[in-house]
Every structure is written in C-alpha cells, then in structure tokens.
C-alpha cells in the first residue's frame, strides 16, 4: 500500500489543491477553518520535503488555525518530551486522549491518559498557547474529568521533562532523513565520493 504512495510525487499537490478548494468554500460561507495536524509536518516543512505527506496522507494546507495533535497516551515515556519540543512552535495544541473516538469493531480502544497525565500535559501546553484542546469530550465525561477541569492549577510550575533533549535529537534525525529523501542526488554524490576516498585511502595503506 505504501510503495505506490512513495513514488506518487504529485499526491501532495493533488491533496493540497482539493483541501484548499474546500477551505475556500467554507470561508466563502463566512466560517473560520481549523485543521488538526500531526506535528511532524513542522519538520517536513523545514526541509521542504513531501515524504510524510505521501506516506501518511498528511496535507499541508493553510487554514485559520492549525491544531497540533500531541496525544501522549500513545507515547507515555517520549510524549511529554515531544510536547516540550514541538510546543514552542505550535499555535494551538491538542492533548489526549481521554477516551472516545472511533469505535472500530475488532480493534482495541485507544489508551487513555490519567488525570495526573492530562493535567501535566495541559500545563505544559499552556506555556506556549492559550488555545488548548482535549481529545475527547466523551472521554472526559466517562472518566469524570469534565468538572475537575475547572480546578486545574494553571500557575503551577512546570519543569522540563527528564532528558528533554532526546525528543530534539529524534527530530534532528527525522529532518535529516526527510532532507535526504527530498535531495537524493546530493546524497548519492556524497556516498560515491566517500566510497572513492575510502578506496584511495586503503590503496595507500
């Protein structure tokens, strides 16, 4: 399934054009438009790549507000570090998940955050944005979080997660991979040159 997407270099442009048309139609009706986005799009934009858009179906389309989905229930250990890394670049942040969402027969329910994890993520996100979202409303109701949200101590100190540098290191690795995918010929050239220099060095030893 992924292989045809990898070589379909026009896929991102087609998706962008279709979604841009939809955004324009919504705005013409007098509405503002939000879109929910994987934060990995920030790294792809930085190196001008389309690899993740081709493989994962992300669409780089301009809207009135882009909400980055920084759901740490899937990445219990690494998640807070990613939130710390991506947070300063986000205009709006969604945390979660507290439960709910698509109920797909035969598939397990999504993992959920505890109250302590949810409030930690909310306070971290609040450092960089006033526009905070929680996935999802029904999950907050099921777990009894909805009323408790009024008691969140927003001014409580929030220290950086332990080994916060790890998320930045992973992002650097991701950006390097994305850059290489967008500039294959320089990468091939460097590889050939390195191989030639290594061969010459061996001849003289």
Domain ranges of the chain: 2-203
Residue 103 neighbours by CB distance under 10 Å: 8
**How long, in residues, is the chain?**
205
Query: Would you state the pLDDT for residue 202?
Result: 77
Query: Would you state the pLDDT for residue 137?
Result: 92
Strands (E), the chain: 34-37, 65-69, 92-96, 132-135
Pairing of strands 34-37, 65-69: parallel
pLDDT per residue rounded down to tens, the chain (205 residues): 667 777 788 889 999 999 999 999 999 999 999 999 999 999 999 999 999 999 888 999 999 999 999 999 988 889 999 999 999 999 999 998 998 876 667 766 778 999 999 999 999 999 999 999 999 999 999 999 999 999 998 888 888 899 999 999 999 999 999 999 888 767 667 677 767 767 777 777 6
Class of residue 180 by CB neighbours under 10 A (exposed 0-12, middle 13-18, buried 19+)? middle
CA distance 11 to 171: 24
Query: Would you state the pLDDT for residue 188?
Result: 66
Query: Would you state the pLDDT for residue 6?
Result: 74
Query: Would you state the pLDDT for residue 190?
Result: 66
């Amino acid at each position: 399934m992924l292989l045809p997407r990898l070589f379909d270099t026009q896929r991102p442009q087609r998706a962008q054009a279709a979604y841009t048309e939809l955004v324009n139609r919504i705005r013409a009706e007098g509405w503002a438009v939000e879109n929910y986005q994987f934060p990995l799009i920030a790294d792809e934009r930085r190196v001008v790549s389309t690899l993740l858009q081709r493989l994962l179906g992300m669409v780089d389309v301009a809207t009135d507000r882009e909400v980055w989905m920084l759901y740490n229930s899937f990445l219990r250990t690494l998640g807070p570090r990613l939130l710390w890394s991506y947070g300063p670049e986000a205009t709006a942040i969604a945390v979660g998940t507290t439960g709910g969402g698509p109920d797909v027969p035969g598939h397990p329910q999504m993992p959920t955050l505890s109250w302590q994890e949810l409030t930690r993520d909310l306070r971290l996100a609040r450092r960089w944005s006033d526009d905070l979202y929680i996935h999802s409303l029904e999950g907050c109701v099921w777990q009894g979080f909805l009323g408790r949200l009024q008691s969140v101590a927003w001014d409580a100190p929030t220290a950086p997660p332990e080994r916060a540098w790890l998320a930045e290191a992973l992002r650097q690795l991701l950006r390097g991979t994305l850059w290489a995918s967008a500039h294959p010929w320089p990468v091939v050239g460097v590889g050939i040159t390195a191989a030639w220099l290594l061969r010459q060095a061996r001849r003289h030893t």
